[in-house]
Structure 1
Amino acid sequence: MLSATEKTTRPGTGVRRIAAVAAAACLALTLSGCQRDGTAPSAARAQAVGAAARFGPVDCRQAKCIALTFDAGPSEHTAALLDVLRGKGVRATFFLLGARHIERYPELVERMAAEGHEVGSHTWDHKILTRLSEDAIRDELRRPDEAIERLTGRRPTLMRPPQGRTDDRVRKAAKEEGLAEVLWSVTAKDYATSDSALITRRVLDQASRDGIILLHDLYPGTVPAVPGIVDALKERGYVFVTVPQLLAPGKAEPGEVYRP
């Protein structure tokens, strides 16, 4: 378990330490330690019916869709990542940290939104929400949302809880803040290696239709892996979409948990 001193993220060692424990714990239990239930993208799509249903640019009922998501940025590597995504014609979903990330790189948050990426929250200070009081949970959710809204003009509707840890109190607070929680099905454990080829192989080995890929744009090995991941998955017939596009014509509902 994490010690009390590891509850606050700092660039470098702090977030590495948290991410290492987080992903190891969650994946070892196939996310069972994070959240057992949740709504699959296909179920979200099936729940939306009627002539007014909107699919956006891609109908994931027909297309082989997959969502590329990045946690814990922005960072010094994010500008290069945005260049890669723009060059590949891929839109991703970013779950941003407030303290020392949104605050430090506001121009990158603005660029994400301007270039059509989905901008969500990864809390303000990467505290484990299930260990906090209800007031503290709401504060961790509200502060990054307010900061993102000031920069982009749009309040986030999605968040990813640190370590994927959620419970009834977290879901209640998320609902009150107008947020849906998004978990994942693919991780490269990029917190533990700078080997871009290994990161690429891990993603490709786990990828499946309607998958949600978890990467971190603050680690040096991740961004160099992205071009190979994108090219290989496109060759396999995948279409990259944001999380809202993956759910369309369904819509992420506040207080709900979405995971493949």
Structure 2
Amino acid sequence: MHPVIILLAAIAVAALSRNVDHIESNETIDSNSGTGYNNTWEASNKSTVSNGTYTSQRNRVSVNMHMATVGFDYGRCGSGFGSCETGSCCSNYGYCGIQEPYCGDRNSTKFQNSGALYPPHTNANIYKRSTGPTTSIIPRRKVGSVPYAGDGEIRHCTEMGTVALTFDDGPSAYTDDLLDLLDEYSAKATFFITGNNNGVHEIDDCSTGYPAIIKRMYDSGHQIASHTWGHPDLSGVDEEEFDRQMYRNEMAIRNILGIIPTYMRPPYISCDYNCAEKLDDMGYHSIYFDVDTVDYWNNDAELIHNSMNNVDAAIAARGEDPSQGSFLILQHDIHYHSVYSLTEYILMAMAKAGYGTSVTVGTCLGDPRRNWYRDAQPATVEC
């Protein structure tokens, strides 16, 4: 047989095998069993230990994407990890995949259409201003029944029948309008805030208008959570930078609200064992998701329908009884069409399917509001 034919046949078999693996992992890990907690840590670049079972690290990270995306890989690559499989590209952030965010230009308009592209910030030049006393001395007592980061990331709501909209990377110029929309539907959301968007805007700088937006979120009953200061991969920074990323974001939130959050989401959904242990020591719950709208690939008037289809598929997969399902949904309020088209579509679709309006992550986990924050007075920003 011709060598080229043999090679093509081998590639086809490997691709089929990988697709089967993805489906099996999706059934095993991403089923909403009601526990909501996945006690999983990265043991190496290709394996995890999860409640006594062994699964592919690449499949573990991609299972939440399986229903929503085509061609996603999310295996690690680059220094310390090696090369991607044939046909995949290694992105600037050290992940394998295909299409523009991985193989295209660094400033891909499909990936971060708002202009807020987040390369891993490890340079002190993103820390422009003094933001007051450190929050590192605040006591980190662990309260409530929701597991902290050392016990695994949280991928599902535990309160059945709930829908939790979450928005990463903001605030942005669109966030005020998003808050108006949420008010119209009596909906609550969780905002995973990045303190210094691409090293340009600092959330506690009055000239940005962000302090007023964040105060409005908080006063309206939405949940404020951390997404780090500069959006690095927390699995790839040293201990000093890790502390700066977390504490500096806390300090900025403290300056605005007089509190610091106990909930966070790791950028790029990347948090290895050491990262999880550090977050646990800081008293954080690590929040992932079980529905990714993939709004960052679909920020276009036509493409946003792909994200809507993802939501429809997630609803169908849960079955017809809302009391047996829940949704922890990932969006980004830096993307125009996610804010102005997708959010209302989700709220309407969930209502039609018999679910209530959106609640915060804390609420969907049965965690009272008093546990979402630690007191860190005084707030010092008056705009």
Q: TM-score range by the shorter chain?
A: 0.7 to 0.9
163, 169, 176: which is aligned to 2:268? 163
Structure with more contact order per residue of length (Cα contacts < 8 Å, sep ≥ 6): 1
Is 2:342 aligned against 1:241? no
Aligned partner of 2:328 among 198, 205, 212: 212
Shift, 1:234, TM fit: 1.3
Sequence identity (%): 29
Do structure 1's residue 75 and structure 2's residue 172 form an aligned pair? Answer: yes
C-alpha contact (below 8 Å) 1:159/1:179 kept by paired residues: yes
Q: Which moved more, 1:204-213 or 1:156-165?
A: 204-213
Larger radius of gyration: 2
**Runs of 5+ consecutive residues of structure 2 not aligned to the other structure:** 1-89, 94-105, 107-111, 121-151, 319-324, 374-383
Paired residues of 1:138 and 1:174 also in contact (CA < 8 A): no
Residue 40 of structure 1 deviates from its aligned partner by 5.5
Report the CA distance between 1:206 and its aligned residue.
Answer: 2.0
The answer for the alignment partner of 1:189 in structure 2 is 294
Query: Contact between 2:228 and 2:246, CA under 8 Å: does it hold in 1?
Result: yes
The CA deviation string for residues 41-65 of structure 1, in whole angstroms up to 9 with x for no partner, is 56xx6xxxxxxxxxxxxxx3xx511
Alignment RMSD: 2.8
1:177 offset after TM fit, Å? 2.1
The equivalent residue for 2:28 is: none
Structure-2 residue corresponding to 1:202: 310
Matched, 1:66 2:190: no
Residues 92-241 of structure 1 mapped to structure 2, 5 A cutoff: 92-99=189-196, 100=201, 102-103=203-204, 104=208, 105-193=210-298, 194-195=300-301, 196-207=304-315, 208=318, 209-224=325-340, 225-239=342-356, 240-241=358-359
CA distance, structure 1, for counterparts of residue 185 and residue 202 of structure 2: 25
d(CA) in 2 for partners of 1:76, 1:151: 18
1:85 is aligned to 2:199:
no
Distance change (3 Å), C-alpha of 1:11 and 1:220: closer
Q: TM-score, normalised on structure 1?
A: 0.74
CA distance 1:149–1:231, change in 2 (3 Å) = same
Counterpart-to-counterpart distance in 2, 1:76 and 1:243:
23
- For the Cα contact (< 8 Å) 1:65–1:211, is it kept in 2? yes
Q: How far 1:85 moved relative to its partner?
A: 0.2
TM-fit CA distance, 1:200: 2.2
Alpha-carbon distance in 2 for matches of 1:17, 1:138: 18
Measured after TM superposition, the shift of residue 97 of structure 1 is 0.6
Taking a change above 3 Å as real, the CA distance of residues 219 and 237 of structure 1, as seen in their structure-2 partners, is same
5+ long unaligned stretches in structure 1: 19-36, 46-59, 255-260
Query: What is the SS of the residue equivalent to 2:335?
Result: coil
Give the 3 Å change call, closer, same or farther, for CA 138–11 of structure 1 in structure 2. Answer: farther
Total equivalences in the alignment: 215
Sort the Cα spacing of 1:16 and 1:135 in 2 relative to 1 into closer, same or farther, 3 A: closer
Return closer, same or farther for 1:238/1:122 CA change in 2, 3 Å cut-off.
Answer: same
Distance 1:205 1:156 in 2: 32
How high is the TM-score relative to the length of structure 2?
0.51
Residue identity matched to 1:230:
L
On the 8 A contact 2:113/2:335 being kept in 1, the answer is no
Deviation of 1:3 (Å): 3.0
Aligned-pair distance for 1:167? 1.3
Task: Tell whether the 8 Å contact from 2:154 to 2:287 is kept in structure 1 after alignment.
Answer: no
For residues 253 and 38 of structure 1, the distance between their equivalents in structure 2, rounded to whole angstroms, comes to 16
Does the 8 Å contact 1:77/1:218 carry over to 2? yes
Q: Per the alignment, do residues 111 and 249 of structure 1 end up closer, same or farther by CA in structure 2, a change over 3 Å counting?
A: closer
Please report how far the alpha carbon of residue 70 of structure 1 lies from its aligned counterpart in structure 2 after TM superposition: 0.2
Q: Distance in 2 between matches of 1:3 and 1:188?
A: 22
Q: Give the superposition deviation at 1:74.
A: 0.2
Q: Which residue of 2 aligns with 1:15?
A: 117
